[in-house]
């Protein structure tokens, strides 16, 4: 099965389902407005403001050591998905790879490694921007 076809099947499987972004138990997670040296994952200090909002692929949600992407997973009703299906890393910045709706954000990452819950926004709801030159 070609990679793009496999991705389409994955998207159909998780369409409109709420996923939890979780970190490995040993991952060091920090909230800050800048990346923190020594942390596996640094999420925006204001990440709680993303609750009940739409987050676009161009909006950074934090910073990550490249090797730490393996410390993240996405779960839905005991089903495991590799976080790389939903997240991308560019110059150590962490982004969602698709437009998502963030439902909840964990306020205390010391008590639980569940960072947030989200669902993919269907393509029909994604805004289309067209530049027309005269």
Annotated domain spans of the chain: 20-120
Confidence at residue 2, expressed as pLDDT on a 0 to 100 scale: 45
Give me the pLDDT at residue 60, please.
Answer: 95
pLDDT of residue 97: 94
pLDDT score at 110:
78
Per residue in 6-30, pLDDT (tens digit) is 444 445 445 558 999 999 888 889 9
Task: Please report the pLDDT score of residue 3 as a whole number.
Answer: 41
Q: Which residues of the chain have pLDDT under 50?
A: 1-10, 12-13
Q: Which of 96, 94, 75, 90 is nearest to 18 (CA)?
A: 75
Q: What separation, in Å, do the N-terminal and C-terminal C-alpha atoms of the chain show? A: 43
Handedness of CA 98, 36, 72, 17 (dihedral sign): negative
pTM, rounded to two decimals: 0.77
CA 43 to chain centre: 11
Own/partner pairs, 33-41, CB within 8 angstroms, 24+ separation: 34/63, 35/63, 35/92, 36/63, 39/65, 40/64, 40/65, 40/68, 40/71, 41/65, 41/68, 41/71, 41/72, 41/94
């Amino acid at each position: 099965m070609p990679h793009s076809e496999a991705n389409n099947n994955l998207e159909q499987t998780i369409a409109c389902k709420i996923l939890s972004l979780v970190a490995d138990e040993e991952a060091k997670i920090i909230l800050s407005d800048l990346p923190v040296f020594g942390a596996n994952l640094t999420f925006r200090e204001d990440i709680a403001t993303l609750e009940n909002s739409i987050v676009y692929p161009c909006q950074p949600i934090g910073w990550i050591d490249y090797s730490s992407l393996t410390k993240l997973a996405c779960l839905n009703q005991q089903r495991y998905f590799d976080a790389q299906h939903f997240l991308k890393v560019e110059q150590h910045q962490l982004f969602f790879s698709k437009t998502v709706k963030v439902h909840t954000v964990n306020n205390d990452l010391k008590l639980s490694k569940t960072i947030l819950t989200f669902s993919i926004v269907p393509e029909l709801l994604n805004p289309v921007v067209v530049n027309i030159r005269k």
